[in-house]
Structure 1
Amino acid sequence: MKYRITAALAATFVSGSLFAATATPRIVGGDDADTDWLSLVALIDVPAKQEAASAWATYPVFQAQYCGGTLLSQDWVLTAAHCVQFNGVNTNAADIELLIGSQTLDVATNSPLLHSAASVIVHPGYNQLTNANDIALIQLDEPVTIGSNVQPGVLATPGTDEKTEELSNYNDILSALGWGVVTYDDPERQQPVYSLDLQEVALDYVPNAFCQNSYNLNGNSESILDSMLCANEPSPDGNPDGDPFGEDSCQGDSGGPLFVTNTALNDSPQVGVTSFGYACGDADLPGVYTRVSEYLDWIEQQTSIADLALRNLAIAENPDSFQGFQTIDFQIPVENAGNKGATNFALTIEHPKAFSLSSSEAGLSCAASSNGLTECNYDGTAILGGSTKSLAFTATDANSQSGATVQIQATVELDRSRDYHRLNNTGTITLQLGQPELTITAEPVCLSSRNNAVEMRFEASVANLDDAIDSVGTRVTGSLPEALTLVNKNLSSCTEDNGDYLCQLGLLEANSEKALTVAIQAAAETMAMVTIAVENDNGTQVGSSLETTVALDFSREDLEACPSVTPPSTLAPRSSGGGGGSLPLGLLSLLMMFGLYRRKA
């Protein structure tokens, strides 16, 4: 509903108060706002409301509305500095009410949707002459209830600005909202027409350099700072009635939001706070907005009061997957994408119903898993700004699944809706359930006479045939008959005890294999059978070939001569050609000379 306000009533907007009355934009050429916008706040001048009510005005709240704002949490509203400060003096918090949860100004003067202000915080660098740092916060006297009609907004980050700047098309990517002037009753713009209902208008993004040039060409002295951004509609199409005054924010929309419009409207990041402009709807002079991303650190600092601190937590991206069988250890990476330390948050984890989760993480307490949901609270050491803390969990699978990939969804939340960029609050952790399929083979590769004895070397290859599951803590074990002697017994990767040996291969990734070169001495003509086995920490699939036997005949004449063994620190990598060539780096002689790592095709 559009409403034509008389000059006498209009005077009540500024009489007897410290509210700014200059260069305050409102929405021109827009339409009734979509009802999905749930974070809009109307600033109400309490003395003006009381005066209008005393004069039996039809719409006292409407007549006392003078600026807009955005709900950031249950306790904080973001607005423009010039809405709450004039000539260096802050507006008294008692003179401000905030209408939250209504897109119409047609509400009673005692409506429960009107909330009192507890304090006003203006950026210390605000300059009324240059409009620099035109940003402010209002703390609510009591927390507002979040519900179907009230949701906090999302603040843009530097990354949001970068993506916006990189778009190939800036046409109508922004939305400005407010309760301000919608049109004029005269060509001279002396008779403004206001709306009782929230309006929105789609605008083009205007890069700062282009915006500055537009102001320079029109003889204006304003400096478009990096802490500002611009928007306009160079080719207005007007509303269905053919509005001739363009499309723009206009008087009264100050402090309201400028969003980069997303499909889910209330998830649209707020990139700007409506700040200043000249003739509303002027296609040549863009409207100017305070760039929100430049003030995130200031917002975090100013709101760091007890449990009211605004922060930006996220579930960090993790390309890795966690593996296990029956019990699976995994981590949830909680990232503090803001600047100030953050703690006291909730973590909600959705997982298969057969899973139960536990954690011994300091500062983390979790309720028993129920029906595929585990809820935790963290009140431990604060996660510093710009850092990530990985919280350790163990999942127990009652179904002992194998060969399955499971997605676990984790969501981090701050109480009182204190996360100002909730778009990254949820992330996915991948668990691969099962055990690897291992095989081991061995064959002699060379034979030489050394130091009045015969030395034979054989290669043992361990392969992981599984497509997804790694083998953890892989090792080769066995024992040698008394007639055989291991060559060189001083490598840390292997140990020997009375002829029993153990060599560590470590992680053997899926679809890969490692090879060990074993050097043994014996008397000529000796013949023996050696058994070699493979073990690991995470078990193996049924059907794995975990043991093999190699026949050692020290009288063979068909094997190549073994190359000389050089010290481990100077060994060169072995070629892939088999028995000849140089030996692998770190050649073992206790049992292993180096695990040549090969990825299978």
Structure 2
Amino acid sequence: MMSFRNSQCIFMLFILCITRLGCCTPQNIDKVASTTSVPTVNKSTSIETYSSAEMCEKYSELIYVKIKDPILLPSQEDHFIKFKDCRIVVPLITNGTLADSKEFPHMALLGYTKNPKDNAWACGGSLISNRWVLSAAHCDKIENSLFVQWARLGELNYLKDTDDARPKDYKIVQRVVHPNYKPPLLYNDIALFRLEEDVTFSAYVRPICLNADPNLKLTAPQKVVATGWGQILHKGPVSPDLLKVDLEVIPASQCKSNYASSAKSQLPNGILDDSQICAGYARGEKDTCGGDSGGPIQIPHSDYTCMYKQIGVTSFGKKCAEENSPGVYTRVSKYIPWIEQIVWPKSG
């Protein structure tokens, strides 16, 4: 039976194993009544939006910092030059490694307690605008209908304040679950969470770009990058550090075969290639696990330096890093019209 890649109590798990939703009821968790809105979006709608591609181009400028030209004489008119304030993507190593400061500034931790200082971090997400975090639908609530309440941005190690990070907690005020997410079915596992206030962008916090091209060819053995906080090895100790790991795209035919015997109550139509992506390794080795739910899988952006393009949202799997058990991710490009109408509507 499949299970979501969700929480192991307070800690988020990284090398993605599959655990059942929730394992404890943390203290100080506020049982908020659901006010989730679930607008239905269709292609015939007349709502005008900014495209995700337009916003990506805009966000790509955030990697630059302007400074006054130091070689100008005092009498000369001020002239500013730009330089990049970011981390260049570097090759990844086996079984994951620590993420660098400013390398994944879009990463979000999702918390479920009333007080963020005592938070139970149970999912991940990605910042996609100044007000919205993209995540998985099953991250909307955990055990006992405890709804997500906080998003922490700009974090590296959530137990330290001596690393080069600029964390800040943002209250979540609106939860938008995809209208076609119908558990126990494992399809359309995607959601948007709106923050109470605008995010101030910096080298430590800025949005990720979204892949809007449904024809983007992701063929094995192409690598994608998964990021999250948590367990370093299956059943091993948890890590409070943000980690990164490279995964291989698994061919659709192979993934469908891997899940052919799965519970029909969860996957009656098997793996759907147009809305799901499989990634991992045929021999196991590396994977995503419980607690990384909602976090991104991404590739370096081909047009903008120091930028990533999100292609998937961590959804579910069988067991962590086990042979022939790839992780399954919600394909972002399938849901671009739905995302755009919620996140970037044009006024007037």
TM-score, length of structure 2 as denominator length: 0.65
Which residue pairs with 1:173 in the alignment?
223
- Aligned-pair CA distance for 1:107: 5.4
Correspondence 1:104 to 2:157: yes
Correspondence 1:11 to 2:21: no
Which residue pairs with 2:96 in the alignment?
30
Distance 2:114 2:291 in 1: 17
Distance 1:7 1:299 in 2: 30
**Cα 1:100–1:49 shift into 2, 3 Å:** closer
Which residue pairs with 1:282 in the alignment?
322
Correspondence 1:297 to 2:344: no
Which residue pairs with 1:248 in the alignment?
287
* Partner SS state of residue 311, structure 2: strand
Q: Which amino acid aligns with 2:286?
A: E
Which residue pairs with 1:587 in the alignment?
none
Between 264-273 and 247-256, the greater mean CA deviation after superposition: 264-273
1:310-389 maps to which residues of 2 (within 5 A)?
A: 342=346
Contact kept in structure 2, 1:211 and 1:224, CA below 8 Å: yes
- Aligned-pair CA distance for 1:268: 2.0
Q: Which runs of 5+ in 2 are unaligned?
A: 1-7, 12-22, 33-93
- Aligned-pair CA distance for 1:234: 2.3
- Deviation by residue 1:152-211 (Cα, 9 ceiling, x = unmatched): 0010112xx42323x5xx235101111132224xxxx4xx42111111111111232321
**Cα 1:46–1:266 shift into 2, 3 Å:** farther
Contact kept in structure 1, 2:9 and 2:25, CA below 8 Å: no
* Partner SS state of residue 164, structure 1: coil
**Cα 1:14–1:123 shift into 2, 3 Å:** farther
Contact kept in structure 2, 1:13 and 1:48, CA below 8 Å: no
**Cα 1:151–1:294 shift into 2, 3 Å:** same
Distance 2:31 2:294 in 1: 16
Which residue pairs with 2:39 in the alignment?
none
Distance 2:258 2:167 in 1: 45
CA RMSD of aligned residues (A): 3.3
Distance 1:68 1:45 in 2: 12
- Aligned-pair CA distance for 1:249: 0.5
Correspondence 1:211 to 2:261: no
Correspondence 1:142 to 2:231: no
- Deviation by residue 1:378-409 (Cα, 9 ceiling, x = unmatched): xxxx8xxxxxxxxxxxxxxxxxxxxxxxxxxx
Distance 2:24 2:143 in 1: 19
Q: Which amino acid aligns with 2:228?
A: G
- Deviation by residue 1:85-110 (Cα, 9 ceiling, x = unmatched): 46996x54xx51111011221257xx
**Cα 1:7–1:122 shift into 2, 3 Å:** closer
* Partner SS state of residue 179, structure 1: strand
Which residue, 226, 230, 235 being the options, matches 2:278? 230
- Aligned-pair CA distance for 1:213: 1.1
Q: Which amino acid aligns with 1:44?
A: G
Q: Pick the structure with more strand per residue.
A: 1
Which residue pairs with 2:131 in the alignment?
75
Which residue pairs with 2:210 in the alignment?
155
- Aligned-pair CA distance for 1:33: 1.9
* Partner SS state of residue 24, structure 2: helix
Distance 1:87 1:131 in 2: 17
Which residue pairs with 2:58 in the alignment?
none
Correspondence 1:41 to 2:97: no
- Deviation by residue 1:298-338 (Cα, 9 ceiling, x = unmatched): 112223xxxxx26xxxxxxxxxxxxxxxxxxxxxxxxxxxx
Distance 2:155 2:215 in 1: 33
TM-score, length of structure 1 as denominator length: 0.39
Contact kept in structure 1, 2:28 and 2:113, CA below 8 Å: no
- Aligned-pair CA distance for 1:220: 5.0
- Aligned-pair CA distance for 1:128: 1.7
Distance 2:322 2:195 in 1: 36
Correspondence 1:259 to 2:309: no
Contact kept in structure 2, 1:38 and 1:266, CA below 8 Å: no
Distance 1:300 1:133 in 2: 16
Which residue pairs with 2:309 in the alignment?
269
* Partner SS state of residue 254, structure 2: helix
Q: Which amino acid aligns with 1:41?
A: A
**Cα 1:17–1:116 shift into 2, 3 Å:** closer
* Partner SS state of residue 198, structure 1: strand
Contact kept in structure 2, 1:271 and 1:291, CA below 8 Å: yes
Distance 1:8 1:100 in 2: 17
Task: Using the aligned pairs only, state the percent identity.
Answer: 32
Distance 2:173 2:10 in 1: 31
- Deviation by residue 1:437-482 (Cα, 9 ceiling, x = unmatched): xxxxxxxxxxxxxxxxxxxxxxxxxxxxxxxxxxxxxxxxxxxxxx
Distance 1:8 1:126 in 2: 26
Which residue pairs with 2:90 in the alignment?
none
- Deviation by residue 1:112-149 (Cα, 9 ceiling, x = unmatched): 61111121111111122111111111111001100111
Distance 2:137 2:112 in 1: 15
Distance 1:266 1:206 in 2: 26
**Cα 1:112–1:285 shift into 2, 3 Å:** closer
Contact kept in structure 2, 1:232 and 1:286, CA below 8 Å: yes
Contact kept in structure 1, 2:283 and 2:322, CA below 8 Å: no
Q: Which amino acid aligns with 1:176?
A: A
- Aligned-pair CA distance for 1:11: 2.8
- Aligned-pair CA distance for 1:283: 2.8
| Structure of higher CA gyration radius | 1
**Cα 1:40–1:227 shift into 2, 3 Å:** same
Q: Which amino acid aligns with 2:128?
A: L
- Aligned-pair CA distance for 1:286: 1.1
**Cα 1:183–1:107 shift into 2, 3 Å:** same
**Cα 1:88–1:72 shift into 2, 3 Å:** farther
- Aligned-pair CA distance for 1:77: 0.5
Correspondence 1:114 to 2:169: yes
* Partner SS state of residue 247, structure 1: coil
Between 174-183 and 8-17, the greater mean CA deviation after superposition: 8-17
* Partner SS state of residue 281, structure 1: coil
**Matched length:** 259
Contact kept in structure 2, 1:85 and 1:122, CA below 8 Å: no
* Partner SS state of residue 237, structure 2: strand
